[in-house]
Amino acid sequence: MPPAQAAGTLDKIKASKTLSLGYRQASVPFSFAGNDRQPWGYSVDLCTSVAAAIGKDLGLADLKLKWVPVTPETRIGKVISGEIDLECGSTTSSLSRMQEVDFSLPIFVDGGSYLSPSAAGITSLKDLAGKKVAVAVGTTTEQSLVEALRKNGVSANLVKVADHQQGIDAMKTGRADAYASDRALLIGLALDSGNQDTWSLAGDIFSYEPYALMLRRNDADFRLVVNRELARLSRSGEINTIHERWFGVLGKPEARLESLYFLNGLPE
């Protein structure tokens, strides 16, 4: 068992006066590196609020935040090893992952879909037949896409990429006809491209993806501090301000997400 787990994450943070946070470099609008090379995004804002709560709880006015970049393939390992204390990205909370790590209260609800060049004419899952579909390795989308294609009797060629930017690049260079990921991430990628008309987002959703902040297993005290702040954000309505900051262009939260925000507002 790593020393970080043995001592407890809060003890580790108090001793080092440092909270190590994992972030994604291209998971717009959840977690990404901005033009200033600093972490930005919806999940980053949530973690910043959590960090402030941890600092207050531990009496650390000078708590240092150490931001560590992670990828779909490295994020779980970095949590387990203690390199990061909390992962602030776009990670789906799943039962299989709970065998290795723990999760906070859910922070977002999404589903898998696919983006393609507008000229490709891909509008449904069946249009992927015989096509090359890029997908990031180490994601739940990879598993869900394979299952969705199987259920619908569609044969497509999967092109494994490391992250979202590689998925976009694969389409730009003709190595892939579409890129599969979570719908909100695909919207963020299209908006971030600066030329939204280039891309077409499919209407169907083939999976259920409840996002949460990832932390080490068997550390109830740390998880409670994290969840207490997430619950406060929901009760106070501050979560709506954070949502507006990053998703305002898409309108108000859809019904499932509104319900999630309401249910997260646990009483003290």
Work out the mean pLDDT of the chain and round it to a whole number: 92
CA pair distance 215, 21, nearest whole angstrom: 10
Contact 134/170 with Cβ under 8 angstroms? Answer: yes
Please, are residues 163 and 140 in contact by the beta-carbon 8 Å criterion? Answer: no
Task: Give the closest residue to 243 by CA, choosing from 253, 234, 233, 235.
Answer: 253
At 157-181, the pLDDT tens digits run: 999 999 888 999 999 999 999 999 9
pLDDT bracket for residue 190 (50, 70, 90): confident
Helices 183-192 and 164-172 pack at an angle, to 10 degrees, of 60
Which domains does the chain show, CATH number per domain? 3-109+210-264 (3.40.190.10), 112-201 (3.40.190.10)
- What pLDDT is attached to residue 6? 52
pLDDT in tens, 208-261: 999 999 999 999 999 999 999 999 999 999 999 999 999 887 677 888 899 999
Neighbours of 173 (CB within 10 A): 8
Q: Where is pLDDT greater, at 163 or 4?
A: 163
Contact present, 114 and 133 (Cβ < 8 Å) = yes
Task: Give yes or no for residue 2 having a pLDDT over 60.
Answer: no
Q: Contact 160/137 with Cβ under 8 angstroms?
A: yes
Q: What percent of the chain has pLDDT over 90?
A: 76
From the list 174, 169, 201, the residue with the least C-alpha distance to 188 is 201
Q: How far apart are CA 138 and CA 154, in angstroms?
A: 22
Beta bridge partners of 109: 210
> Is residue 196 predicted with pLDDT exceeding 80?
no
Instruction: State the burial class of residue 13 (Cβ atoms within 10 Å of its Cβ: 0-12, 13-18, 19+).
Output: buried
Q: Is the dihedral of CA 56, 58, 64, 65 positive or negative?
A: negative
What does pTM read for this prediction? 0.84
Q: Which residue has the higher pLDDT, 30 or 189?
A: 30
pLDDT tens figures, 42-58: 999 999 999 999 999 99
Which two tokens mark 222? Answer: 């740390």
Pairing of strands 64-69, 39-40: unpaired
pLDDT, tens digit (0-9, with 9 covering 90-100), for 119-166: 888 988 999 999 999 999 988 899 999 999 999 999 999 999 998 889
Give the pLDDT mean for 93-113.
Answer: 96
pLDDT surpasses 90 at 11: yes
